[in-house]
């Protein structure tokens, strides 16, 4: 009983002390002297000031839940950033990442980047981006083959062609016949060039004849160089990649200017 | 009794704890600590007594302003005093009868107006030319009763009289009365000799404040009173020096001088009272005719703090030189001076910018608002800086009243795309351009963004030719390196909006802006220079087409052994001597090194040196801050200003 009384008394004393302190503060604020000083100060609105502090270049964190929407964004810049985030989002399973990157690749074909060519490149910006997405899929390896295969079956036209290249990049050997077909008949030089490159990567020796034929491909490109000596130089990208693929397959190739020969 | 400290385990410092003692101590200890907390609060922060400072200027002219010494003045003063006494009595009864009630918010002026309304006399035309003036500064301190009372102060006073009357009598009996007096001085105000109080009455909206002033001080002056009668045959002259009087008489040529009579100097001063609402007590100005019909004027200001707060430039303001040549900053500095009576006493110190002429000269930089001009940009980027604008008071009175100025930092910027810097252009060989390099190039070249290569960096505005074609192509060139040269060229980055992106696949996806674009461009082109030197310059002395069949700027015989840059090397072990783009990147093989090298440039390394407007990293407002928006993407590694740039 004594303890309870003591606790009760203690609580009352603490409460009274708190009330007293609050009262004293309010009395101080309302003291005549303070009132006059306030009136004299006639406090004005604080002036605007610039805050000095470190500037941040850190982009706001990206919501992984928005990735499916962002990789299909009509802005090529958003797509590129979103694709980079896809690779960094480790919690996503590899096939899902591949699907997202295939979506970015497909959107790049539907709404190609329109920025000026990059220094040193011989491709328009969209060509560089398409190769970039393909290489990201290549980095995922066999886990990307299934989604690429699905995309290849689902898509048509240029999207199907690039899905085929993506399947080859993922190491899908079943892409080889379609890649050979692309090398022979695609209307797009970047597709033929890429098909040649990945036929070499797939070590598809049955493609040697098609690759030899591609050494005479007439598609040209101009180099956007920051070296006035190289600037505007004409390049035969399909020939070059076909030559590279043949060399990977162990076929001897010789070059004389822009002419490639293989016996 | 419950011990405050007890032990739960063997150590013997404290007695053992009784049962349930912990809970009890939880109650008792706070109770004991409570007063200590209060005491500590009281001791560590003793409340200083509230202080109010004030200044006032008081003036009085006419009969009631005359110092006492004087012959004709004394007559007038005596008469006026008589009238004044009557008015005081009449006014008292008038006020008592309620015929003219003073309101609760009245002042000395209202009282005098009331007294003067009791008759139709007007003494303001009396020919007394006397005046009294006083400048007072004072400090009031709050007493226990909440009334502010005079703590200390000073008064500077002056008095003057020059009253002359000539009375033309018959037969040339002319009387001339001429009273002259002059004096000035200053003395301390103390609670013993004067009184100034400020008290509140009422509460809330009805609260009023009464300011009562009663200033008294000794008033030693020199006076000379003359009465010349009968055309000068009879002359009476009274001289006074600080209270000591001496009479001199000359009657029909007989001079008579009384010995000096020492006395105390006269006293001077004035009184004033005003009752008003809280909001309008801080300052006041009134002019009235007193009950002697003498004009009086008072102007006062009360203030809690005496400051010259700088309103312009605002803190960390951005002051940018304009685009003209020479570049100028034409602005004005403004401070809010409290009390504003000392506005003209505010003295400014503006930051010095080496190489830029500052006007006005320090001795002319006075006043609450001062225009200033900086003419000409500095030679060195390091001379752009945050500089302090400083105010103080060039007035002893203000200093005595505790007035303080303040410092306000503001930053100096150059206009990024103008070319009004004082430097010589860094022309590439063969260029005949006569216009200077743009400011961004000239100043950024002096920063860490140049990565120590400034002597080998040139600027091309796109007009000069190299090897038969434009050195910088319109539509997107950032920089150029020509094989077999030992310099790199930076193109007009304004044409690309001071923005660039990393090459997809050759490192993280990044956006570069402002000075970082300058930095990565230099890093990119410098890599070409390094590659040329390594693979061509050092072994062959020049680039040889025949040794580079694929034209990728890597020697064919070495390509099989050259490992591509990271992260390309994870996919491709080496380059192919017959293929320009061995890794299918859409890019020549040597160029992969240049693009990858951009990621070696530590983004942000030159931020602390970037004074460009727009885009400067020292800017904080819309005026000069970076114009770009951060886009979504992975975080970019930020580098502090002290981090060393890799050579």
SS (H, E, C) B57-106: EEEEECHHHCCCCCCHHHHHHHHHHHHHHHHHHHHHHHHHHCCCCCCCCC
- Is A120 close to B553, i.e. CB distance below 8 A? no
What span, in angstroms and rounded, lies between the C-alpha atoms of B532 and B169?
Answer: 118
pLDDT tops 90 at residue B264: no
- Of residues B459 and B123, more confidence is placed in B459
Query: B520: closest CA among B459, B587, B439, B606?
Result: B606
Which residues on B lie below 8 Å from A122 (Cβ)?
Answer: 580-581, 586-588
B581 and A225 Cβ atoms separated by less than 8 Å: no
pLDDT, tens only, B387-437:
999 999 998 888 877 888 999 999 999 999 999 999 999 999 988 899 999
Whether residue B282 and residue A42 make contact (CB cut-off 8 A), yes or no, is: yes
CB atoms within 10 A of CB B403: 24
Helix (H, G, I), strand (E, B) or coil at A75: coil
How many angstroms away from the CA of A262 is the closest CA of chain B?
13
CB neighbour list of residue B362: distance below 8 Å, 6 or more residues apart: B349
Q: Does A172 touch chain B (CB under 8 A)?
A: no
CB burial of residue B291 (10 Å; 0-12, 13-18, 19+): buried
DSSP A139-181: HHGGGGHHHHHHHHHH--HHHHHHHHHHHHHTT-GGGHHHHHH
B547 CB within 8 Å of a chain A CB:
no
Pairwise CB contact (< 8 Å): A10 & B475: no
What does the angle CA B351 – CA B357 – CA B361 come to, to the nearest 5 degrees? 70
Q: What is the pLDDT of residues A49-90, one digit of tens each?
A: 555 554 555 556 667 789 999 999 999 999 999 999 998 888
Phi, psi (rounded to 5 degrees) for A34: -65, -40
Determine the angle formed by the axes of helices A157-169 and A189-201, rounding to 10 degrees.
20
CB A237 within 8 A of CB B581: yes
CB contact under 8 A, B482 and A116: no
Chain B segment 261-280 residues within 8 A of A by beta carbon are: 278-279
Q: Give the gap in angstroms from C-alpha B607 to the nearest C-alpha of chain A.
A: 9
Contacts made by residues B71-76, CB under 8 angstroms, sequence distance 24+: B71/B177, B71/B179, B71/B225, B71/B226, B71/B227, B71/B236, B71/B238, B72/B163, B72/B165, B72/B177, B72/B178, B72/B179, B72/B225, B72/B227, B73/B128, B73/B130, B73/B161, B73/B163, B73/B179, B73/B225, B76/B126, B76/B128, B76/B163
- Cα distance from B318 to chain A (closest Cα, Å)? 9
Instruction: Tell me the chain B residues in contact with residue A233 when contact means C-beta distances shorter than 8 Å.
Output: 551
Q: What is the ipTM of this complex?
A: 0.83
What are A212-254's pLDDT values in tens digits?
Answer: 999 999 999 998 877 766 666 889 999 999 999 999 999 999 9
Mutate: best of B581, B595, B601, B609, partner A, most A CBs <10 A: B581
Each residue of A86-96: b (16+ CB within 10 Å) or e? bbeeeebeebb
pTM of the prediction?
A: 0.73
* Tally of residues, chain A: 263
- What is the per-residue pLDDT across B293-322, written as a single tens digit (0 to 9) for each? 889 999 998 888 888 999 999 988 999 999
Q: Which two tokens stand for residue B179?
A: 């009273």
A vs B, Cβ pairs < 8 A, gives: 239
Cβ of B587 within 8 Å of Cβ of A42? The answer is no
Q: Which two tokens stand for residue B412?
A: 């100096």
pLDDT in tens, B617-642: 888 777 887 654 433 334 344 444 33
Query: At residue A85, what are phi and psi to the nearest 5 degrees?
Result: -70, -30
Is A262 at the interface with chain B, CB within 8 A? no
Contact B3, B15 (CB under 8 A): yes
The CA-atom distances, in angstroms, between B365 and each of B343, B371, B375, B387, B410 are 12, 8, 16, 16, 17
- pLDDT tens-digit readout, B342-400: 899 999 999 999 999 999 999 999 999 999 999 999 999 999 999 999 999 998 888 87
> B324-355 b/e with 16+ CB inside 10 Å = b?
eeebbbebebbbbbbbebbbebbbbebbebee
> How far is residue B270's CA from residue B134's CA, in Å, rounded to a whole number?
9
Quote the minimal CA–CA distance from A38 to chain B in Å. 9
Strand partners, B60: B132, B296
Do the chains contact at A36 and B278, CB–CB below 8 Å? Answer: yes
**Rounded-to-integer distance, Cα A187 and Cα A199, Å:** 18
A157: distance to nearest CA of chain B, Å?
A: 22
Query: What is the pLDDT, as a whole number, of residue B595?
Result: 97
Q: Phi, psi at residue A249, to the nearest 5°?
A: -80, 5
For tokens 């008072």, name the residue: B298
Backbone angles phi, psi at A115, to 5 degrees: -70, 160
């Amino acid at each position: 009983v004594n303890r309870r009384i003591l606790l009760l008394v203690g609580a009352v004393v603490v409460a009274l002390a708190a009330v007293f302190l609050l009262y004293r503060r309010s009395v101080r604020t309302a003291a005549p002297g303070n009132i006059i000083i306030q009136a004299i100060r006639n406090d004005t609105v604080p002036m605007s000031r610039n805050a000095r502090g470190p500037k941040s270049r850190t982009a706001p964190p990206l919501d992984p839940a928005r990735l499916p929407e962002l990789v299909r964004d009509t802005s090529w810049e958003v797509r590129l950033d979103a694709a980079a985030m896809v690779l960094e989002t480790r919690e996503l399973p590899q096939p899902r990442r591949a699907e997202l990157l295939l979506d970015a690749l497909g959107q790049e074909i539907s709404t190609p980047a329109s920025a000026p060519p990059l220094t040193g490149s011989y491709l328009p910006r969209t060509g560089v981006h398409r190769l970039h997405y393909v290489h990201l899929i290549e980095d995922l390896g066999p886990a990307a083959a299934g989604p690429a295969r699905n995309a290849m079956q689902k898509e048509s036209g240029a999207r199907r062609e690039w899905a085929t290249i993506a399947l080859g990049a993922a190491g899908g050997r079943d892409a080889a016949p379609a890649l050979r077909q692309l090398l022979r008949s695609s209307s797009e030089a970047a597709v033929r060039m890429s098909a040649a490159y990945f036929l070499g990567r797939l070590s598809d020796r049955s493609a040697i004849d098609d690759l030899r034929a591609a050494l005479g491909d007439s598609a040209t490109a101009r180099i956007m160089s920051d070296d006035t000596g190289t600037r505007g130089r004409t390049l035969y990208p399909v020939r070059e990649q076909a030559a590279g693929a043949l060399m990977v397959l162990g076929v001897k190739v010789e070059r004389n200017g822009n002419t490639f020969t293989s016996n | 009794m419950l011990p405050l400290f007890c032990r739960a385990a063997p150590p013997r410092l404290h007695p053992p704890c009784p049962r349930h003692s912990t809970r009890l101590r939880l109650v008792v200890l706070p109770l004991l600590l409570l007063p200590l907390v209060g005491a500590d609060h009281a001791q560590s922060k003793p409340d200083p007594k509230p202080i109010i400072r004030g200044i006032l200027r008081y003036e009085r002219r006419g009969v009631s302003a005359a110092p006492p010494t004087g012959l004709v003045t004394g007559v007038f003063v005596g008469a006026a005093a008589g009238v004044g006494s009557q008015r005081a009595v009449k006014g008292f009864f008038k006020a008592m009868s309620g015929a003219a009630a003073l309101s609760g918010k009245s002042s000395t002026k209202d009282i005098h107006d009331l007294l003067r309304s009791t008759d139709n006399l007007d003494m303001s035309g009396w020919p007394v030319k006397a005046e009294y003036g006083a400048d007072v500064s004072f400090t009031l301190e709050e007493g226990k009763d909440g009334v502010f009372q005079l703590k200390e102060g000073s008064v500077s006073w002056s008095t003057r009289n020059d009253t002359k009357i000539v009375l033309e009598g018959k037969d040339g009996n002319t009387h001339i009365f001429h009273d002259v007096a002059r004096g000035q001085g200053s003395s301390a105000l103390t609670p013993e000799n004067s009184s100034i109080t400020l008290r509140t009455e009422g509460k809330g909206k009805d609260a009023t404040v009464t300011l009562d002033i009663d200033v008294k001080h000794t008033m030693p002056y020199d006076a000379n009173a003359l009465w010349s009668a009968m055309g000068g045959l009879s002359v009476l002259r009274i001289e006074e020096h600080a209270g000591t009087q001496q009479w001199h008489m000359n009657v029909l040529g007989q001079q008579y001088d009384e010995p000096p009579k020492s006395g105390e100097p006269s006293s001077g001063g004035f009184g004033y009272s005003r009752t008003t609402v809280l909001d309008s007590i801080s300052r006041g100005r009134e002019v009235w005719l007193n009950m002697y019909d003498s004009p009086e004027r008072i102007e006062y200001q009360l203030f809690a703090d005496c400051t010259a707060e700088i309103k312009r430039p605002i803190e960390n303001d951005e002051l940018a030189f304009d685009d003209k040549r020479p570049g100028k900053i034409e602005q004005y500095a403004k401070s809010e001076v409290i009390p504003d009576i000392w506005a003209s006493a505010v003295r400014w110190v503006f930051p010095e910018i080496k190489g830029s002429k500052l006007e006005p000269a320090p001795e002319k930089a006075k006043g609450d608002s001062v225009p200033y001009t900086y003419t000409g940009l500095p030679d060195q980027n390091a001379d752009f800086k945050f500089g302090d604008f400083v105010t103080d008071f060039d007035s002893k009175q203000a200093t005595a009243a505790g007035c303080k100025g303040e410092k306000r930092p503001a930053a100096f910027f150059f206009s990024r795309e103008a070319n009004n810097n004082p430097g010589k252009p860094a022309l590439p060989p063969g260029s005949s351009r006569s216009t200077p390099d743009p400011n961004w190039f000239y100043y950024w070249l002096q920063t860490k963004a140049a990565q120590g290569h400034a002597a080998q960096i040139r600027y091309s505005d796109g007009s000069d030719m190299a090897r038969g074609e434009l050195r910088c192509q319109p539509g997107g060139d950032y920089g150029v390196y020509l094989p077999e040269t030992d310099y790199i060229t930076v193109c007009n980055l304004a044409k690309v909006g001071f923005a660039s992106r990393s090459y997809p696949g050759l490192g993280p996806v990044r956006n570069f802006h402002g000075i970082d674009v300058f930095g990565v461009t230099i890093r990119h082109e410098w890599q070409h220079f390094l590659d040329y030197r390594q693979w061509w310059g050092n072994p062959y002395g020049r680039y040889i087409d025949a040794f580079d069949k694929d034209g990728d700027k890597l020697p064919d015989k070495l390509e099989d052994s050259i490992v591509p840059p990271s992260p390309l090397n994870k996919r491709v072990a080496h380059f192919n001597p017959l293929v320009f783009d061995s890794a299918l990147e859409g890019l020549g093989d040597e160029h992969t090194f240049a693009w990858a090298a951009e990621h070696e440039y530590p983004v942000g390394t030159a931020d602390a040196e970037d004074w460009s407007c727009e885009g400067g990293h020292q800017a904080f407002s819309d005026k000069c801050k970076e114009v770009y928006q951060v886009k979504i993407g992975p975080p970019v590694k930020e580098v502090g200003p002290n981090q060393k740039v890799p050579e």
